[in-house]
Chain A
Amino acid sequence: MKAAIGYAATVLRSMWRHAGGRFPLVVLGLWAAISVVSLFWTPQPLMRTDGYHTWQSPSAEHWLGTDGTGADVFSWLMAGSRTDLLIVILTVLVAAALGLLFVAAMVSRHTALAGASVVVVDALISIPTVLIALVLAVPMGASIAVIVIACGFGYGLNLARVARPQALLAAQSDYVESAVSNGASGAYVFFRHIVPNILPVMLVQLSLSAGTAVLAESGLTYLGVGVPSGTPSWGHSLATTVRFITVYPLTVLWPGLVVTVAVVALNLFGDALRDAIDPVTNPELRRAAGATRMEEDGHGR
């Protein structure tokens, strides 16, 4: 456990040292902080509308102006960040859980199960997320759960597909062979030997999925199957104002910008994470691990 924390600290530290890593860390930190703050405080009461002051320009009172119901755009964006954060976290968790489940099935020692799951993943992966969301939304109505389940499912499949080669290598490695011959259980081998090996791939893939989830939220909310009315979210802010872009372009600018910045940050986070956890590109990690093996002639890969 201590080792894991130390590892995480090393990774975060080296991410912070690079310009490409600092930006996402700052944005994500800000995102989390704003989400928490919005639970207790927003500049204007979130649910207050004012029909006499719709589509206001930015002012001291309304920092980013108001929307079509006279609600404060800034407050809604602030509060929206917590919904999006929740969606991102839940989606990533669902995707990770499903992904691991599929990976476990695909590298399983029961060849029938492994073969079947490879085939199933290949088939399911071609079903678009939005179709799943659309069908789910009918019994469930517009809800966060629809986004989380639909996206989590789709991204989980993607994850499984991406992580499979690494998992397969790990599963065929000597130490797994020996662990199995020593009578280790399948679950033990999986979490002890295989998961650590696919963790880097997983982390990167999941951070990409997190970005896609934010985009999917805005799209699905626009289609009416995403975040329900009255729940603040960036997609909600975007979808309810976007029709007025020709009249009030400034009001529509902000939600789009927030979504873009957040997704950029999540993607950069993935890239920075990949660099930080790759011993080839991150010397600190090598030092931390006590390994001094240099790549042959410095340009292995």
Chain B
Amino acid sequence: MAEQPGAHGRTGATSSPTAPASPTNEASTDASLNARVKTPHRRPWAWIAVAAVAVVAVVIGIIAIVNRPATQQAGRRDTVTIGLKLAPTNLDIRNQSGSALDQILIGNVYEGLVARDENNQVVPALAASWEESADGLTYTFHLNEGMSFSNGDELNADDVVWSIQELVGKQYHDASSLTNFGSITAVDPNTVELRLSAPNSNLLWTLAGRCGLVFDQDAEYDMKTEAIGSGPYLVSEFRANDSITLKANPNYWGEHRAATETVVVRYFTDDNAAVNALASGDVQVLAPISENLAGQFADDPDHYTVQAGDGTDKYVLAFNGAGEHTSDPRIRQAIRYAIDHEELIASRGGADAPLGGPIPSLDPGYEDLTDLYPHDVDKALELMAEAGYGPDNPLTLRLEYSNTYGTDLGDQLRSQLAQIGIDLQVEVVEFSTWLQDVYTNKDYDLSLVDHNESHDFYQWADPEYYYNYDNPEVQSLYAQALAATDDAARDDLLRQAARMVSEDAPADWLFNYRITTAWVNGVEGFPVNLNQTQLPLWNLAYESE
């Protein structure tokens, strides 16, 4: 805004626009004033500008230095930051649902009698070994010796008994999956005996989840904001929906001692922010990373590793078995024929696996059922025509699902189903609304959920479940499978049941979501498989190059 000459346009007169000097001397008729005229001084704009530029430069320099990714000398880091997606709102693993809690707490902070490994098999944890009676009704667990909680309290058979009795007595979350539970007693400080009223072939697996967790009966703390367990880590800070800081548990008793002193877990709802965090070095691991965004890291193998892992996430497009139109099996089958699973998977980056039935590859009873309902639009059109609908006479159906899955799937399903004369009205709602409408009130035609739990076939054997799927044969097969004392027999029964379910088409399994994990080279020991259900971090280490 410097003053420029020519304020008044041009001078038309002959007189030159020289700066007037004469009036300045005798401008006032008051001589005493004329003597004290201020000498007009220009402000040193140039200097101010230079100073401003300098200040900005210095500030940017400081910012750049402060924010430089901490380039410490190569070597093992004592802090590793990992980025996850679904954030827990509280730490109360006994009451709050959601796999986010299982993921971060089980195996890290809380430990169960038994645990699962990367292949979804049951392995020892607090119990070093166990025996099962021949009738499958009594399980005897032999606990490790010298176990303790992070607060120093001893962990013995009494704590185990108390924890499971509390679970059953107060019906904490997941208590219902402890089918046929009879009683639990402490035989001695290191032995626990669990009795069932009838055999439950799922028992050990169930105990590897929330049901088998052991809590300190003497500790008093707010379960929502704190966690006291026996695992290799303890929660040093928890910010709801944002981050959890895990520190190595100094009182840890076992072999899974934390390899890294501090693990910071950050949660990103925005995929782009997550990717930026990995790119900028704020996190060293990202799981999951959207396959479509992983390209930039996959293309840079010198610095990053990108890998997809197996999981038990089943994207279930459920058809309401009691729905006005979806109770017609022809329509359900038509929908299954109409959906092009390969296309869905391709649009998501191609990492996911097709899934033709209710049991994913890591669960017992898995069988490739994808050829039961291959993509066949003609067949679908035929079935629709039988049911009295077609492209000229479309059937309107409503699909309701939670906004956590994005809008793309709905758009794609609408497009695919439009070809066979289904006008799909897609409603993307909040999870709580979905819970109310679909899960609780069963008021829906189609619903889409990622059922990420493992061993969850019971859903199809429960006529009260929101699927409204009631097949006594399936229910009987599942009951037999539960009662089986032999794993092979159990798997066979489940296989039969799964095939039956898939044939009935109470739902379409869009795909088995495989989690893509990306990490900075030098990170070791981060589980790739099943890392959205349980994420043991004790072995996680980062050796920077």
Interface residues of B in 343-358 (CB under 8 A from A): 343-348
Interface residues of A in 47-105 (CB under 8 A from B): 47-52, 54-55, 68-71
Contact A47 B272 (CB under 8 A): no
| Contacts known (A51-B340, A52-B346, A244-B293); A229 close to B407, Cβ less than 8 A | yes
Q: Give the residue name and chain of the A residue nearest to B425 (CB).
A: A230
Contact of B271 among A47, A54, A138, A243 (CB under 8 A): A243
Q: Which of A49, A242, A245 has the most CB of B within 10 A?
A: A49
B410 contacts the other chain (Cβ, under 8 Å)? yes
Contact B407 A240 (CB under 8 A): yes
Contact B428 A49 (CB under 8 A): no
Q: Which one of B144-152, B412-420, B513-521 contacts A?
A: B412-420
CB neighbours (8 Å) of A47 from chain B are: 411, 414-415, 418
Contact A246 B292 (CB under 8 A): no
B313-343 interface mask toward A, CB cutoff 8 Å, 1 = contact, 0 = none? 0000000000000000000000000001011
CB distance from A53 to the nearest CB of B (A): 9
CB distance from B436 to the nearest CB of A (A): 11
Contact B427 A69 (CB under 8 A): no
CB distance from A90 to the nearest CB of B (A): 21
Contact B433 A49 (CB under 8 A): no
Interface residues of B in 384-442 (CB under 8 A from A): 403, 406-408, 410-412, 414-416, 418, 425-430, 433
CB neighbours (8 Å) of B220 from chain A are: none
CB neighbours (8 Å) of A68 from chain B are: 292, 347, 408
A142 contacts the other chain (Cβ, under 8 Å)? yes
B535 contacts the other chain (Cβ, under 8 Å)? no
Contact B292 A229 (CB under 8 A): no
A256 contacts the other chain (Cβ, under 8 Å)? no
Classify the secondary structure of A's interface with B.
Answer: loop
Contact B275 A49 (CB under 8 A): no
Contact of A51 among B270, B272, B347 (CB under 8 A): B347
| Contacts known (A54-B347, A228-B427); A247 close to B414, Cβ less than 8 A | no
- State A47–B407 Cα separation when bound (angstroms): 13
B53-96 interface mask toward A, CB cutoff 8 Å, 1 = contact, 0 = none? 00000000000000000000000000000000000000000000
Contact A243 B272 (CB under 8 A): yes
B539 contacts the other chain (Cβ, under 8 Å)? no
A200 contacts the other chain (Cβ, under 8 Å)? no
- State A236–B407 Cα separation when bound (angstroms): 10
| Contacts known (A47-B415, A141-B433, A246-B296); A228 close to B428, Cβ less than 8 A | yes
CB neighbours (8 Å) of B189 from chain A are: none
Chain B residues within CB distance 8 Å of chain A: 270-272, 275-276, 290, 292-293, 295-296, 340, 342-348, 403, 406-408, 410-412, 414-416, 418, 425-430, 433
Q: List 28 A-B contacts (CB under 8 A).
A: A47-B418, A48-B415, A49-B347, A49-B411, A49-B416, A50-B343, A51-B346, A51-B347, A51-B412, A52-B346, A54-B292, A69-B411, A69-B415, A71-B415, A138-B430, A224-B403, A224-B430, A228-B428, A229-B427, A229-B428, A230-B407, A236-B407, A242-B272, A243-B290, A243-B293, A244-B292, A246-B293, A247-B292
Chain A residues within CB distance 8 Å of chain B: 47-52, 54-55, 68-71, 138, 141-142, 224, 228-230, 236, 240, 242-247
